[in-house]
Amino acid sequence: MRKITLMLFAFMISGISCIYAQKDVVNYFKAGNNTSTYIQNYIDPLLGSFGHNLNNGWYSTADPLNLGRFTISTGLSVSFIPSSKQTFAIGSTTASTMFGPNTSNGNIPNTSTPIPKGDGVALSPLPLLQGSVGLWQHTELMIRACPNIDIANYKVGYFGLGVKHDIKQWIPGWKKMPFSLSFIGTYTNSSLLLTDPELVDNKNNAQTLKYSASGWGANLIISRKFTVATVYGGLRLSHNSTDFNISGNFLTTNLNTFYQPKDLTFSDSGNQFGINAGIRLKAGFFAFNLDGVLAPGGYSSATLGLIFGIFN
């Protein structure tokens, strides 16, 4: 039984962060005509949760940075996998998805290969790192970026762009109100190509994984600043689009003696509405923030961040 290690990288300005999960995805190629359905069900929560994670952690206040002020922030966003995305039906039994129970209920139909297990942890994490700078007209620019880089057997790229704009200034009579109100728009794109030299068939063709995801978010955020604390909350409409491709020659019989070329692509996209709330605590040039997004019927999430910079 061979395993493919799937690593999801978030590359930013000051370094490299990664999360990974080992999965027996290729075992589903032994399932004959149902291969595509089984694999898509297995990876479905990865496609959805990672896409929506891209929209998290962009802000910790509705107050845009003043002209020339800047911050650098890092953190971790975690999406919670709903119970409906932790298992799926396979034949007459139940199989785990990537983030499902760490158990195997029998074999893949028509094979002697055990049904792949899940992680046993219904959490999908993504490390975050970004820079922000204040522009004119109470507008803030936020950037997450890294060009394509080859590391070991992984080629990855990451780019994100966000804009925060104070809309309270345009509402008559609201300018001196004791709170901030902004619209925040974000867009993120990521890609991953994995070629594993340990997964080489007898024709010397490596098996590869290709993963790409993009997401945009539209946020209406309000915040109130106190002495050391800022509380914030608002509404979010987010969209994600993900593609996952597996290609190469794979064993397809119980005897593990016959290789067959496979090239499968799985896609997921969708919108999600969420309610956001959080708090930021500031001390000098540093701040910590913690927030959460409640997404009924979708992927709710939590984000923890550390911020350094020259604040307002």
Residue 185 pLDDT exceeds 70: yes
Name residues whose C-beta falls within 8 Å of residue 36's C-beta, 6 or more positions apart in sequence: 264, 266
Q: How far apart are CA 118 and CA 121, in angstroms?
A: 8
pLDDT per residue over 241-285, tens digit each?
988 887 776 655 554 545 566 677 888 888 999 999 999 999 999
For 31-40, 62-71, 87-96, 274-283, which range has the lowest pLDDT when averaged over its residues?
Answer: 31-40
From the list 311, 275, 266, the residue with the least C-alpha distance to 140 is 311
pLDDT at residue 289 is higher than 90: yes
Percent helix, strand, coil in the chain, to 5, is 10, 60, 30
Q: Kindly give, in sequence order, each residue whose CB lies less than 8 Å from that of residue 179, ignoring residues fewer than 6 positions away.
A: 62, 168, 222, 223, 224
Model confidence at 60: pLDDT above 60: yes
Which tens digits make up the pLDDT trace of 190-244? Answer: 877 766 555 444 454 566 777 788 999 999 999 999 999 999 999 999 998 988 8
Contact indicator for 215, 52 with CB cutoff of 8 Å: yes
- What is the predicted pLDDT for the residue at 151? 52
Residue 37 has pLDDT above 70, yes or no: yes
Q: How far is it, in rounded angstroms, from Cα 129 to Cα 44? A: 26
Claim: this prediction has a pTM higher than 0.75: yes
**Tokens at residue 109, please?**
């139909």
Place of tokens 């990288």: 9
Rg (CA), the chain: 22
Indicate the pLDDT class of residue 311, thresholds 50, 70 and 90.
very high
CATH classification of 4-310 is 1.10.10, yes or no? Answer: no
SS3 label, residue 218: strand
Out of 2-16, 42-56, 288-302, the most confident range is 288-302
3-state SS string over 186-248?
Answer: EEEEEEEEEEEEEEECCCCCEEEEEEEEEEEEEEEEEEEECCCEEEEEEEEEEEEEEEEEEEE
Residue 69, phi then psi, degrees to nearest 5: -75, 155
CA separation, residue 15 to residues 1, 98, 128, 189 (Å): 34, 27, 11, 18
Indicate the SS3 state at residue 105: coil
Q: Does the pLDDT value for residue 8 go beyond 80?
A: no
Q: What is the pLDDT of residues 132-167, one digit of tens each?
A: 999 999 999 999 876 666 655 556 677 899 999 999
Dihedral, CA atoms, 249, 3, 86, 303, nearest 10 degrees?
A: -110
pLDDT at 206 (0 to 100)? 60
Determine the pLDDT at residue 28: 75
Q: Are 14 and 40 in contact (CB under 8 A)?
A: no
> Which single residue is written with the structure tokens 């290690």?
5
Q: Tell me how far apart the alpha carbons of residues 138 and 140 are, in angstroms, rounded to a whole number.
A: 7
Question: φ and ψ at 208, to 5 degrees?
Answer: -130, 155
pLDDT value at residue 32:
63
pLDDT greater than 90 at residue 309: yes
Half-sphere exposure of 123 (CA within 13 A, CB side): 10
Tell me phi and psi for residue 34, to 5 degrees: -95, 10
Closest to 55 (Cα-Cα) out of 287, 306, 295, 307: 295
For the chain, the average pLDDT equals 81
Greater confidence, 258 or 288?
Answer: 288
Judged against a pLDDT cut of 50, whether residue 122 lies above it is answered with yes
Look at residue 256 in the predicted model and tell me its pLDDT: 52
